[in-house]
Chain A
Amino acid sequence: MDPEITRALSQTNFTAWDWGIVAVYLSISVVIGLKVKKYVGSMADYVTAGRGVGAALGVATMTGTEMGLVTVMYSAQKGFIGGFAAFHIALIAGAMTLLVGLTGFIVFGLRKHEVLTIPEFYERRFGKRVRVLGGVMLALGGILNMGLFLKVGSMFIVGITGLSSDGRALPMVMTVLLILVLVYTVLGGMISVIITDYIQFVVLAVGILVATGLAIANLGWNTIFEVVATEMGEKGFNPLVADSAFGLEYVIWMAFLGMVGCAIWPTAVARALAMDSVKSLKKQYIWSSVSFLIRFIVPYFWGICAFVFIMTKAPDLAPLFLEAGEEAAPLSNLYAMPVFMGRILPAGLIGIISAAMIAAFMSTHDSYLLCWSSVITQDIVAPLRKTEMTPKARIKLTRILIVGIGLYILYWGLCYSGGEDVWDYMAITGAIYFTGAFSVLCGGLYWRRASSTGAFLALLSGLVAVFGLAPVQDLLGISIPGARFGIASIVLACLTMVIGSLVFPDRPGMHDVAKTAEEGGDA
């Protein structure tokens, strides 16, 4: 690593005391994983905590899952690049979650059917082949989506602790964190995930409020806005202006993402399916709209503060993080926020904030690992087997898959070389699944004439989103915004659902299932 970069990154207030705080927190998490193992008696316990989660705990676990360290990192990157204009993504996400909570769009219907996973609903409505394809698309999009989580989360740890002086620090941190998260996810399933999500919520809530207060105290409330206005101009505030980092097409794409993020994204839906009643579910979504706003807006603000800090108080960092003309910055701007935090937070507090962030990291990983592995077990392997799988065999397979996916994200994090922002990478990989899922769920819940062929074609349409990935575009020699491919795949999925259903309707007998689905889908 360049000595200049090493010197800049090693200036942190992180001390041995802070390492102690982090170690205590991680130990508590692992012990919880071991303690709650005895409560796992069935696949429903393992995947949905026996559907016994109350409203307040539901909000905590929804926030814990959706406000992961990777969210904090990619959002800070967006704030660093786009300024306050990035806030539109947060506002849309919060508004969409509130809307889903008030109307029950999709999630009420799924909860009423008491399914364990979304593809399970596909089978009830459209048959086994749609369930298996839905499971494959979900697992493909979802596992690709979390491919960078481990690396990006570890970059935060490396940046805030100053470990960066050693070039091997990043893979080492990735490996240690992965082992920790695998241990308690494999052991406890959803029950341990929900309990650790709760602890994370408490630690994280205190952490983000204190860190935000300190950032404002350090830089000055008015200075933050003035520096962005001076350095970025209108594009630092208006997401629709022509030369901003966003634009109208991007805002439309974000509006769709805001809706699917809470109503279709499996880790969020898994929380909905774990609730003890539809009433609790409604309450969970209405309150979680605040979390969906905060999970973006606070990290955007931290990224903006990192930018202002570099421009006003740490000019030595500017050549490392900011492009000089055509020349790319030598260091990933993902490091900007943790380096900023490492410099402004005092010893002791930095340990608590780091523990909160590692908590965020772990609670997201455990939920995602559990989600994708249970989908492969429940929706791909079990339906394809000729003999019924016992609950014990299902839990065992899910645990093996958790470890397998963990090893994949370690490999992918070290190998992927795409040049897009992390958020845009996640949006486009997620689109492989959710564009098809959106039309299939809408059709399945609200349109009686939706057919299995239409659903099958709609799910396949999601593959168009792959062309939005930077390495795929490089391979094809094209340069088209990922948002455009995302919007194109939504349109294609809806069209194939409608045309496929009208041209290839299901046999009359299957409409009994359709009727049941529609009744469940009434919000």
Chain B
Amino acid sequence: MNGWMLLWKAVFILGVALFAGMSVWVTIGGFGDIKRLFARLEAAHGTKPEDE
């Protein structure tokens, strides 16, 4: 049982630490991606409403 306990402790701590680091990258990088997405959509279709 101790082996399993150690494994789950390690998986949990490592997972949460990785997630915390990834969150910073996604928050910053995702904001830039949103700006590029809208620029791309505007370039492709203009900003005219769909029912025009």
Interfacial residues, chain A to chain B (CB-CB below 8 A)? 37-42, 45, 49-50, 52-60, 63, 84-85, 87, 90-91, 94, 191, 194-195, 198, 201-202, 205-206, 209, 212, 225, 229, 233-234, 237-238, 287, 290-291, 293-294, 297-298, 301, 392, 395
Contact = CB atoms under 8 A, between A and B. Distances in A.
Interface string B12-52: 10011011101101111111111011101110110111110
A353 to B, nearest CB: 16
Contacts, number: 131
Contact of B4 (A53, A57, A237, A301): A237
Contacts of A287: 22, 25-26
Nearest to A62: B26
Given A38-B50, A287-B22, A52 B11 contact: no
B30 A229 contact: no
Given A50-B44, A205-B19, A297 B37 contact: no
A55 B36 CA distance: 12
A233 B1 CA distance: 8
Interface of B: 1, 4-5, 8-9, 11-12, 15-16, 18-20, 22-23, 25-34, 36-38, 40-42, 44-45, 47-51
Contact of B34 (A42, A85, A195, A290): A195
Contacts of B36: 52, 54
Interface of B is mostly: helix
Most buried by A among B5, B28, B37: B37
Given A38-B47, A54-B33, A85-B4, 4 more contacts: A38-B50, A39-B38, A91-B11, A392-B50
Contacts of B8: 84, 87, 237
Contacts of A59: 22, 26, 30
12 contacts: A37-B50, A38-B47, A41-B41, A50-B40, A52-B36, A56-B28, A63-B26, A84-B4, A201-B30, A209-B19, A287-B22, A290-B18
Contacts of B41: 39, 41, 45, 49-50, 52, 191
A238 B1 contact: yes
Contacts of B31: 198
Nearest to B44: A50
B4 to A, nearest CB: 4
Nearest to A91: B11
Nearest to A391: B50
Given A91-B11, A297-B12, A301-B12, A57 B25 contact: no
Contact of A293 (B15, B20, B40, B47): B15
Contact of B5 (A37, A94, A225): A225
A84 B5 contact: yes
A9 B47 CA distance: 49
Give the 4 A-B CB pairs with smallest separation, nearest first: A56-B29, A54-B33, A57-B33, A41-B45
A55 B34 CA distance: 11
A140 B50 CA distance: 30
Contact of B30 (A56, A84, A94): A56
B19 A57 contact: no
Contacts of A293: 11, 15, 18-19
Contact of A56 (B11, B15, B33, B51): B33
A395 B50 CA distance: 10
A290 B1 contact: no
A45 B18 contact: no
A233 B4 CA distance: 12
Contacts of A229: 1, 5
Nearest to A38: B49
Contacts of B33: 53-58
A298 B50 contact: no
B49 to A, nearest CB: 5
A212 B5 contact: no
B9 A212 contact: no
Nearest to A202: B27
A225 B9 contact: yes
Given A60-B30, A87-B11, A392-B50, A42 B45 contact: yes
Most buried by B among A54, A85, A198, A287: A54
A238 B6 CA distance: 11
A290 B30 contact: no
A58 B18 CA distance: 17
A37 B49 contact: yes
Nearest to B13: A221
Given A205-B19, A291-B19, A60 B1 contact: no
Contacts of B15: 90, 94, 290, 293-294, 297
B15 to A, nearest CB: 5
Contacts of B27: 201-202, 205
A37 B15 CA distance: 37
Contacts of A50: 37, 40-41, 44
B5 to A, nearest CB: 6
